[in-house]
Amino acid sequence: MQPEQTSADHGVFTIPNLITVIRLLCIPVFLWLLFALDDLGWAGLLLCVLGATDWIDGWVARRFDQGSEWGKILDPVADRIMLITAAGALVIYGTVPLWVGALILFREIAVALATLTLAAAGAARIDVQWSGKAGAFGIMFALPGFIIVDLLGPGMARDVFVVLTGIATIGGLGFSYFSLFEYLPRARTALVDGRRARKVNS
């Protein structure tokens, strides 16, 4: 996940942005593994890798001062596309419960629509907040967890993953929906700031 503040804007051609683009290109591969090959194991492994690289691109951006304004936009967009696609696909496949998928999809679609509406209204951009990052992090752990639970037979290992997946699911959804309430006052401020900036530049 990209840092909220960086010392310089390095443009679009950065290593973290390249990692994010590769993550986006891997989403069709995930769908191909899941539906064309019916290989839940490899699809789950790829989903784990995609979730891990979401942390890696942020670490690279901070460690090597590779942050950019493009990254602040591209990274959350990639997260949103991945969560919507993975949750919807796994609900269709029968691995993720419908109520979990519905809550993930509703939240992500609502945020996407709100972002587009604010942009059309001329609002200033709102940086991703810690609660939204924590929510995405939890859900990215939960979705592969459902896959592991589906693949494991009865036993202690499966029981452990059921508990861990439940914790990640509740925590991820909780932080995700909490972030919606955090964004409400920020959205109003972003609208005011955007209109003020337009007046100054006009």
Query: pLDDT 10s per residue in the chain (202 long)?
Result: 444 444 455 567 788 788 888 999 999 999 999 999 999 999 999 999 988 877 777 777 777 677 677 767 788 888 889 999 999 999 999 999 999 999 999 999 988 888 888 777 777 777 777 888 889 889 999 999 999 999 998 899 999 999 999 999 999 999 999 998 888 788 778 777 776 776 666 6
pLDDT at residue 3, as a whole number:
45
Q: How far apart are CA 16 and CA 31, in angstroms?
A: 24
| Predicted TM-score of the model (pTM) | 0.83
Distances (CA, A) of 68 to 4, 5, 174, 193: 10, 9, 29, 21
pLDDT at residue 119, as a whole number:
77
pLDDT at residue 94, as a whole number:
95
pLDDT at residue 194, as a whole number:
74
